Chain A
Amino acid sequence: MAEKIITINSTEEFDSTIMKTRYVLAEFYADWCAPCRMVAPVIERIAEQYSSRITTVKVNIDEQQELAIRYGIQTIPTIIFFKEGRFASKEIGVKPLSSFVRMIDSNIA
């Protein structure tokens, strides 16, 4: 299941991913963050459920500080949905599966 989530290794990789894929769900997290460990299995489920329609990526904010600053990440996990390369919606903190489903469904055509 985990291979359905791409780990972002650079700002360039992130930018090219959101530009070339219509829908991207990005999880901003850190290894030390307990709530991120809670949300991780939920995001895995989302990645699985929407694998044919959206690309799911993980951004480690300690390693990708430029991206964390760009998107003003103030708490983690922050999950941002990108549509055609642009910010569409976000969810902050520990949320159940239904919240992410709602966010995605309301943004995909």
Chain B
Amino acid sequence: MGEIVDIIIIGAGPAGLSAAVNAVTRGKSVRIFSNRENYLSKAERVDNHLGFYHASGKELMDKFKEHAEAMDIKIEEGKAVNILPLGESFMVNINGEILESKKVILAMGISKIKELPGEGRLLGSGVSYCATCDGMLYRGKNALVWDQSNDAWEEANFLQSIGVNVSFISQKPKNENLSNDIRFIKGTITEIIGENTVEAVNTGSETIKTDAVFMLRDAVAPAALIDGLELEGSFINTSKYMETNIPGLYAAGDITGKPLQLSKAISEGLIAAQHAAMQIDKKEN
């Protein structure tokens, strides 16, 4: 499993990068993961972040990344699949690789994930969020990969390569990297059907029989990521130190709720990282 990192940060937007910078400033080892472009990069203009009047979101985001890079913080490509608290530490599954850390900061941004009918009920009974985790169980069977992220085609190719009979459903044009052995279906999924296990999906216009559905979104919903996490609506509840109801697990930025603003995200990243670092120091000294 490798050595224990002080703090793992999920998400490399303003909150995640602010947390990383502040954790490193306090002498803590950090690994930071991201697998999507930040929403800030798409903002045409940000006028309410003090000191940067008229800046574009992309300019600001580039500056934040430069700042982190100057401090030797490397943003790694990866999606968190599960987090398991072990009392004194955490195990974090990043695309099938298990890492261990003393603290975890969630900064994945706003969760736009809407659960499909049948999804929660059939999770673990044919519905999966991780091809490399569950793929082997479906060798020789039919699986549908639902394209909701930029790297879904890679996971589809992986499933096909281990002997799963894969179909790929996407609203985007067919990705040229997708294996030719995979059936491509233009469309989306509106419902997952099955009594005790997945039997089919509904696309709105047709029903497709399948044994499994791999729902490869670019982030796993917080409630599915970690068992027992306290939410309010789709936002994560935290203390004033940005700690969640799970000791040692923090949340910062848009994921904790409104206002969904840059300055708040940066502040929360700082508070989370400083508190996490202080807790580590308290325990070790």
Contacts and interface: CB of A to CB of B under 8 A. Distances in A.
A38 B197 contact: no
A38 B91 contact: yes
Interface residues on B, range: 20 to 34
A101 interface: no
Which range contains the number of A residues in contact with the other chain? 20 to 34
B86 A37 contact: no
A96 B84 contact: yes
Contacts of A74: 124-126, 137, 197, 212
Give the 8 A-B residue pairs with the shortest CB-CB distance, closest first. Answer: A92-B124, A75-B124, A94-B82, A34-B96, A38-B91, A38-B84, A74-B125, A94-B84
Contacts of B132: 34
A70 B83 CA distance: 29
A47 to B, nearest CB: 15
Interface in A60-75: 61-62, 72-75
B227 A99 contact: yes
A16 interface: no
A33 interface: yes
A57 interface: no
A34 to B, nearest CB: 4
B86 A34 contact: no
A42 interface: yes
Contacts of B134: 33, 75-76
A19 interface: no
Nearest to B92: A38
Contacts of B267: none
A39 to B, nearest CB: 7
Given A72-B197, A75-B128, A95-B227, A42 B133 contact: no
Contacts of B128: 75
B11 interface: no
A54 to B, nearest CB: 21
A94 B128 CA distance: 13
A15 to B, nearest CB: 23
A38 B82 contact: yes
B146 to A, nearest CB: 17
A66 to B, nearest CB: 15
Nearest to B87: A97
A42 B137 contact: no
Nearest to A62: B136
Interface string A23-39: 00000001011110111
Contacts of A38: 82, 84, 91, 93, 98
A2 to B, nearest CB: 16
Contact of A76 (B98, B126, B137): B137
Interface in A1-55: 30, 32-35, 37-39, 41-42
A93 B124 contact: yes
B93 A94 contact: yes
